[in-house]
Amino acid sequence: MQRRGASSSPPNRFERLRTVPPGAPGSFDLGLEPDPDEPPFDPRTIFLRDSSRTIVATNTSPDVGFDASVNPYRGCLHGCSYCYARPNHEYLGYSAGLDFETKILVKTRAPQLLRRRLSLLSWKPQVVAFSGVTDAYQPAERRFRITRGCLQVLAEFHNPAAIVTKGALIVRDTDVLGELAEWGGASVVISVTTLDEDLQRRMEPLAARPLRRLAAIEALAAAGVPVGVNVAPVVPGLTDHEIPGIVAAAAEAGARFAGMLVLRLPYGVKEIFSEWLEAHVPERKERVLARLREMRGGKLYDGRFAVRGRGEGVYAEQLRAVFDLAARRSGLAGRGPTLETRHFRVPHTGEQLGLFPET
C-alpha cells in the first residue's frame, strides 16, 4: 500500500450516509471469516476526468493575496495529513480523508478553457495563482502535464503567474517560467514544513523531500525566476523550532523572500490530523493540540480571515517574532515581486471567439 497522509475517511459533512469498504477503518465486523483470496483494504489511486466548463476561480478571501486562480486538479496525491483543502472534496460527494488523496479529478481541458477565458473582452489582466485548493505540481502532473499547458497559455498571452508548491517537478518547467520571468510575469514560492526527512515523509507522504525542494529553489533562482520560501504550515509544538533553519537553508539555496503560515485545521481535517498525531508522534499529540488551542481562542480552528493563517495571543506573537528575525538575518525580509500586467496581449489565432465563456 502506498503511504497515505490520512488513515481513515471521516464522514462527509454534507452526506447522511457513507459507504465503507470491508476491512477499511470504520467498517463493520459481520462475524464472517476473512476470504483468503480477498486482498486487505488498500485504497489505490484513481484518476477521474473533470468536466468543469470554466477554469479560472475567483477568490473572495481578503487574506490570500490573489483574485484569480487555476486548480488543474481536484484532490492531491501529496497526501499531506494537515491539508486545509481536504474538505473541498466533500463538495464532490467524497471524503476529506483517503478520498482526497486517492480520487484525483483531472481537468484535462484546462489549457483550452484558460485560453478562451483570457481571450474574452471581459478578462482583466491580472496575476493567475496556482493553486488555491490543490498542488499544481503534485505527482499527477508528471503524467498529465496540465499545469505546464496552462503556463504555456499564460506565456503566450503575457499574463503573469504566481505559483505555490511543494513539488520539485516544477523544475521541469523552468523554460516556461523563465520566459514569463523575462518580463516580470512569474513568481514561485516553495513551501517547506520541516527539514527532518523522516518526519516529512510521514506527514507529507508523496510530496518532495526537503532537500529536493531546496534544490528546486536553487534551480529556479539559477534560471532567473524570482523564488521564495513559505515556512508552512508551522505545526506548533512539532516543527516550530525549525523556522530559523528553514529560512536560512532557503536563503542559501537562492530564495529572495520568505513567508510563514501557521497550521489550520478546518472541518474534518481536525480529526484526520489528530489521528495522524496519535499514529506517528503520540508523545507530542497533546502538546501540539494544546498549542493550537492557545493560538485559536481555545479551539482547534478559527476561520476568521485575519487570524486563520497566523493565530492570536502570546505564542502566535512569539512565532512571528522568531520568523521575522530569521528573515532579516537571512536577507529575506522583503516582499515578493510585484508582477507585471501591462504586457498582456491577445495573440491572433484565427479563431472567432464569443463574448462569453464556453458552455
Per residue in 175-229, pLDDT (tens digit) is 999 999 999 999 999 999 999 999 999 999 999 999 999 999 999 999 999 999 9
Kindly state whether residue 223 falls inside one of the protein's structural domains. Answer: yes
Q: pLDDT at position 288, please?
A: 99
Residues sharing a CB contact under 8 Å with residue 162, sequence separation 6 or more, in sequence order = 66, 127, 128, 129, 130, 186, 187, 188, 189, 339
Alpha-carbon distances of 98 from 43, 84, 104, 201, 267, rounded to whole Å:
8, 14, 11, 17, 15
Per residue in 19-43, pLDDT (tens digit) is 444 444 443 333 334 444 433 445 6
Determine the residue type at 76: C
Kindly state whether residue 191 falls inside one of the protein's structural domains. Answer: yes
Residue-averaged pLDDT of the chain: 89
Kindly state whether residue 90 falls inside one of the protein's structural domains. Answer: yes
Q: Name the domain count of the chain.
A: 1
Q: pLDDT at position 40, please?
A: 44
Range of the domain at 193: 46-330
Size of the chain, expressed as the number of residues it contains: 359
pTM (2 d.p.): 0.87
Degrees (nearest 5) of the Cα angle 44, 46, 51? 160
Residues sharing a CB contact under 8 Å with residue 80, sequence separation 6 or more, in sequence order = 5, 166, 203, 204, 205, 207
Q: At residue 237, does pLDDT exceed 70?
A: yes
Q: pLDDT at position 63, please?
A: 77
Kindly state whether residue 28 falls inside one of the protein's structural domains. Answer: no
Kindly state whether residue 294 falls inside one of the protein's structural domains. Answer: yes
Which percentage of the chain shows pLDDT scores above 70? 86
Kindly state whether residue 33 falls inside one of the protein's structural domains. Answer: no
- 1-5, 63-67, 327-331: which has the minimum mean pLDDT? 1-5
Q: pLDDT at position 217, please?
A: 99
DSSP 125: P
Q: At residue 13, does pLDDT exceed 70?
A: no
CATH value at residue 77:
3.20.20.70
Q: pLDDT at position 28, please?
A: 34
DSSP 5: S
Kindly state whether residue 34 falls inside one of the protein's structural domains. Answer: no
pLDDT mean over 231-256: 99
Per residue in 304-355, pLDDT (tens digit) is 988 999 999 999 999 999 999 999 999 999 889 999 999 999 998 655 544 4
Which percentage of the chain shows pLDDT scores above 90? 81
Kindly state whether residue 307 falls inside one of the protein's structural domains. Answer: yes
Q: How confident is the model at residue 17 (pLDDT cuts 50, 70, 90)?
A: very low
pLDDT mean over 106-111: 98
